[in-house]
Structures are given as structure tokens and as C-alpha cells.
């Protein structure tokens, strides 16, 4: 049996029928823009995440750009970000005309290094920063980071593209963010049938700006208070997400169980360690992350391929090492942890409703051939 890295076709028994019926209903009524599906989705998001405002938009990258623009980031501003993330985090800063400064990550939780961050804020006199909740958990020092930013008047945009369902210190990870974002890219834990995203905030001024900017900066149908763009969420995507939402708790539980199973079974292997969320987190089971001993990953990749086990490398390079970052990067704080991690991480198959047999088989190959 081959096991893919991800399989999104494990629908609940009635899911596809209900989705097809929903497409029919929306199509018959040509209900393609706005409407109750979007209102319902935004209500669920705000409730789940403990915030006052959830604004749907076209994708998670736009969500970041909307959040940065709403926070007042503009041409010439320095924005700090972790050096280990998906390229969209970096790209969003450049696309709003600002100047990215990367900050290295901690090898323990694989998230932004708080001590380096503090120094980088001073050095660059930064007024804006981004933190990314990577892999389905977040920084061990997130509360400290938020407090520091508040004291220093640094607006912190939280990239929560991968974090739906994560809780931190007993609350949704999004709840205590000033402004945060979600991606509903299909492979995320709460995935759409295409592209979609959202911005979350409890600040009413940010919320009003985001809602307007995602709809051409409108104040009225043909009056514009900002130069925005079209980043409206599609009604069909909202309808699909509302159906997924009904099953989301079970999908999350299944992912969390798989993540915990890997961690339990693969705790004493010599060639790698299984990354673990810091204390205070309940992960969402987005990814399993193994960190290999230096130089050992290539052999592991070959062995997994030979045994029909899918895997992912998330991510194979640091932001500051990308060809496109050269001309636009305004600084790089810290050492080579991001680069080092990029050469050592590997993720095993993990998706909702993986079977016990599949999990056992992956574990058996990893224990016997990579351990």
C-alpha cells in the first residue's frame, strides 16, 4: 500500500452530496457574490476564534496584505518577520511597499526567536512586525512577544494561515492577537474548494478598513475611501467552508490523534527528533515535523520513496536565501538556524481520517528503516 503525504478525498459520508446540492441551489439562484453564506462563515470564524470581527477575503496572502495595510504599513516601513515561513509572509510585506527584515528562529519550537526579535526591533526602530504560527502550533514565548510589542508600540500582524483550531493558554491562538490572518487553501486543516482567506481582529477601525479595502476601498457602491483592490471571498467557497465547518471538530480530532501517534511511536529514534508544540499549546494536527540529524535527511527521503510513503519538506529554504529576496531585503537578524532547519525538516503523511493501518505502516517503515 502506498500512502500519500496528503489525501483530501476522505469526505464524510454525506459531504459530497450536500456540496453538490449546495452548488445547485446557489447556481439556480445565481447567488455568486455576498449573501448569507458569507455572513454565516464570518460569524462562525469570529465565534471559534474569540474575536469581534472576521472578514472573508480571496486568499491567505491577500489577508496578510489587507492586515498590513489596515495596520498602517506603507512604503519604506520596516517590517520584521521570521526567516522560516512560507514565502507569502515575505511577499506580502514587499507587495505593500515595505521593507522586510528577517529574524532567525529558535531550534526548539522552530518559531521566531524572541531574543533576536527584541534586538532587531531596537536596531531597526521597527514599528511593525509579523509572527507566523507555523506547523500547527506557535512560539513558546508568544505571550511575551505580544506584551513586548504592546509596550514598544510595535503593531504585530499574526500570520495564522496554518493555525485554525490551535489553542494557546486555553484560548484560541487568534483571540489575543491585535490582527491575524487565516488561509483556507485546500490543504489547510480548514480547507476550501479553492482559494479563500480571512482577517480577524477585535479592533473596529481595523475591521472597517479591511472590509472596505477588500472591496475596492468602497465607502458606497461608486464612492471610494481607499485605493483597495478586489479581494472578496467567493460565495461558493464560503458555502463549502460552512459545510466543512460542521465536521471540523472531527477532522481536527483525527489530525491531532495522528500527530500524537507519530510523536508517541517515534520518540526514541536516533536519526531524528519529532518536533513538539511548546507547553500551553493544543495543536491542530496540521503537520508532523521530524528534524533529522545533519546530513541524514537525503537517505530518509530515498527510503520513504522506495517504500511508497509520501512526505513533504516544509520548507526547503529560508526566506533570506531566496533569489527574489536579494534586491528587497532590508536586513537579516541572527544566525543560520532557519537555513539549518530547512536542510533537516521532513514531514510524514498527515491528514484527516488517516486509518490506523496507514499510520502503523508509516511508523513501521520509519522505525525499522530510518530509526
Q: Which is nearer to ligand PLP, 185 or 261 (CB)?
A: 185
Q: How far is the CB of 133 from ligand PLP (least distance, A)?
A: 8
Q: Which is nearer to ligand PLP, 59 or 320 (CB)?
A: 59
Q: How far is the CB of 265 from ligand PLP (least distance, A)?
A: 27
114 and 139 Cβ atoms separated by less than 8 Å? yes
Q: How far is the CB of 171 from ligand PLP (least distance, A)?
A: 21
Burial class (CB in 10 A: 0-12, 13-18, 19+), 147: exposed
Alpha helices (H) in 71-166, listed in sequence order: 87-95, 114-124, 142-152
Shortest-Cβ-distance residue relative to ligand PLP: 60
Q: Which is nearer to ligand PLP, 189 or 300 (CB)?
A: 189
DSSP characters over 58-92: S-HHHHHHHHHHHTT--TT-EEEEESSS-HHHHHH
Closest residue by Cα to residue 271 from 337, 369, 350, 339: 369
Q: How far is the CB of 367 from ligand PLP (least distance, A)?
A: 29
SS3 for 362? Answer: helix
Q: Which is nearer to ligand PLP, 138 or 334 (CB)?
A: 138
Q: Which is nearer to ligand PLP, 180 or 361 (CB)?
A: 180
Half-sphere exposure of 194 (CA within 13 A, CB side): 10
- Cell numbers 466543512 correspond to 244
- d(C-alpha 97, C-alpha 75), whole Å: 4
- d(C-alpha 346, C-alpha 342), whole Å: 9
Q: How far is the CB of 200 from ligand PLP (least distance, A)?
A: 14
SS3 for 265? Answer: helix
Binding site for ligand PLP (CB under 6 A): 59-61, 85-86, 88-89, 132, 159, 161-162, 183, 185, 195, 197
Q: Which is nearer to ligand PLP, 185 or 351 (CB)?
A: 185
Phi/psi region, residue 3 (left: phi>0; alpha: psi -120 to 50; beta: rest), is beta
- Cell reading at 175: 483571540
Helix axes 235-265, 15-28, angle to 10 degrees: 160
Q: Which helix (H) or strand (E) holds 130?
A: strand 128-132
Q: How far is the CB of 193 from ligand PLP (least distance, A)?
A: 13
- d(C-alpha 94, C-alpha 109), whole Å: 27
Q: How far is the CB of 176 from ligand PLP (least distance, A)?
A: 19
Q: Which is nearer to ligand PLP, 113 or 195 (CB)?
A: 195
Q: Which is nearer to ligand PLP, 164 or 311 (CB)?
A: 164
Q: Which is nearer to ligand PLP, 38 or 266 (CB)?
A: 38
284 and 257 Cβ atoms separated by less than 8 Å? no
Q: How far is the CB of 6 from ligand PLP (least distance, A)?
A: 13
- d(C-alpha 187, C-alpha 246), whole Å: 18
Q: How far is the CB of 59 from ligand PLP (least distance, A)?
A: 4
Amino acid at each position: 500500500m502506498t500512502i500519500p503525504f496528503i489525501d483530501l478525498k476522505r469526505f464524510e459520508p454525506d459531504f459530497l452530496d450536500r456540496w453538490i446540492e449546495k452548488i445547485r441551489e446557489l447556481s439556480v439562484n445565481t447567488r455568486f457574490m455576498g449573501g448569507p453564506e458569507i455572513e454565516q462563515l464570518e460569524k462562525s470564524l469570529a465565534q471559534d476564534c474569540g474575536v469581534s470581527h472576521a472578514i472573508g477575503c480571496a486568499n491567505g496572502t491577500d489577508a496578510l496584505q489587507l492586515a498590513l495595510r489596515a495596520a498602517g504599513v506603507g512604503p519604506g516601513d520596516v517590517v520584521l518577520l521570521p526567516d522560516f515561513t512560507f514565502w507569502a509572509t515575505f511577499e506580502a510585506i514587499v507587495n505593500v511597499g515595505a521593507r522586510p527584515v528577517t529574524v532567525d528562529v529558535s531550534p526548539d519550537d522552530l518559531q521566531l526567536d524572541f531574543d533576536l526579535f527584541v534586538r532587531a526591533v531596537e536596531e531597526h526602530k521597527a514599528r511593525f512586525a509579523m509572527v507566523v504560527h507555523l506547523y500547527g502550533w506557535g512560539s513558546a514565548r508568544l505571550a511575551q512577544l505580544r506584551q513586548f510589542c504592546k509596550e514598544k508600540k510595535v503593531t504585530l500582524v499574526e500570520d495564522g494561515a496554518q493555525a485554525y483550531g490551535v489553542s494557546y493558554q486555553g484560548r484560541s491562538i487568534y483571540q489575543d492577537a491585535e490582527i491575524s490572518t487565516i488561509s483556507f487553501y485546500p490543504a489547510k486543516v480548514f480547507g476550501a474548494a479553492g482559494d479563500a482567506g480571512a482577517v480577524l481582529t477585535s479592533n473596529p477601525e481595523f475591521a472597517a478598513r479591511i472590509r472596505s479595502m477588500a472591496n475596492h476601498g468602497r465607502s458606497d457602491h461608486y464612492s471610494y475611501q481607499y485605493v483597495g483592490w478586489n479581494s472578496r471571498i467567493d460565495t461558493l467557497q464560503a458555502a463549502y467552508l460552512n459545510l466543512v465547518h460542521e465536521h471540523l471538530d472531527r477532522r481536527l480530532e483525527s489530525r491531532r490523534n495522528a500527530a500524537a501517534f507519530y510523536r508517541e511511536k517515534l520518540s526514541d529514534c536516533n536519526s531524528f527528533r519529532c518536533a513538539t508544540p511548546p507547553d500551553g499549546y493544543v495543536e491542530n494536527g496540521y503537520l508532523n515535523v521530524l528534524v533529522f540529524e545533519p546530513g541524514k535527511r537525503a537517505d530518509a527521503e530515498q527510503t520513504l520513496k522506495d517504500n511508497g510513503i509520501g512526505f513533504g519538506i516544509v520548507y526547503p529554504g529560508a526566506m533570506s536565501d531566496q533569489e527574489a529576496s536579494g534586491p528587497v531585503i532590508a536586513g537579516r537578524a541572527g544566525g543560520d538556524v532557519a537555513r539549518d532547519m530547512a536542510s533537516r525538516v521532513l514531514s510524514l503523511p498527515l491528514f484527516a481520517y488517516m486509518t490506523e493501518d496507514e499510520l502503523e505502516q508509516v511508523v513501521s517503515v520509519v522505525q525499522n528503516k530510518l530509526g
